[in-house]
Amino acid sequence: MTEKRPLTCRRIVVKIGTSSLIDAATGQIKLQTIDRLAFTLAALNHQGCDMVLVTSGAIGVGLTQQRLTERPSSIAEQQALAAVGQCELMRLYSQRFNDYDAQIGQLLLTHDVFDYPVSRTHVMDTIDALLAHQIIPVINENDSVAVDELDHRTTFGDNDQLSALVATQIGADLLIVLSDIDGLYDQDPRRHADARRLTTVHHLSEDILAGAAGSGSRLGTGGMVTKLKAAGHMMQAGAQMVLASGADPRIISHIIAGENVGTWFVQKAEVEQS
């Protein structure tokens, strides 16, 4: 018997990874995915939900724009690609959200913003003001300036961590992470045909953490480890997270309806109180 998912639609953060936005084989931008994402978030926004989008993809889109097939090793070259790609990514988002009568506002963040109380307060106030006007914040790490250098920490390392941090800071009820895998499995489904998707996780055991090996694609930086860290961050804050496939972002509506898709991360106590 599948556990019921008592999910709410008050304030939701959706994170989408580079692998869901860029075709790894061709390097082309998945325009249909962006369109479906905009359609779904706009529809929920019109229904009164506070929606926040955390997006990856700036460097991946930059690679496409510059007709490159490999991510450069130089930090400066990667940051230049991010600068180019972020412009195009936001152009596409702005176009698609506008098609569905929804406004968006861009925020590019570095870790320093959250490390210092004054800047953190200003960012939270900005997000609250956008949401109060039914404007969907579109958040990405500021890849053109974010680097780890000595004791000056600016980078999040991946947008899974950024999305969880944003979600907990703004008091979101739910974080939905859309990825190139449709959930957490008891073993690697690419190597084991009998791998079983875990529908619900109440506790991140050592076995689960130990099995989450591997990194992201050549275009992205996130892997299962970073997603589990994000899930742990949400659960510790008393909130929930769902990890699901980003192949078709309309799955968001199925998640909010409580359907058995992806993997639901929630503390047991939260389920019992619902």
CA 157/CA 222 separation, integer angstroms: 8
Residue 64 labeled ligand binder: no
Residue 143 labeled ligand binder: yes
Residue 51 labeled ligand binder: no
CB 255 within 8 A of CB 244: yes
Name the phi and psi angles at 50, rounded to 5.
-80, 115
Residue 17 labeled ligand binder: no
Residue 223 labeled ligand binder: yes
CA 247/CA 36 separation, integer angstroms: 10
Residue 214 labeled ligand binder: no
* Beta-carbon contacts of residue 188 (< 8 Å; ≥ 6 apart): 195, 211, 214
Residue 20 labeled ligand binder: no
Residue 180 labeled ligand binder: yes
Residue 90 labeled ligand binder: no
CA 62/CA 30 separation, integer angstroms: 14
Residue 226 labeled ligand binder: yes
Residue 15 labeled ligand binder: yes
Q: What DSSP string describes 212-270?
A: ------SS----HHHHHHHHHHHHHTT-EEEEEE-SSTTHHHHHHTT-S-SEEE--HHH
Number of H helices, E strands in the chain: 11, 10
Binding-site positions for ATP read 15, 179-180, 221-227
Binding-site positions read 15, 56, 143, 159, 179-180, 221-227
Binding-site positions for substrate read 56, 143, 159
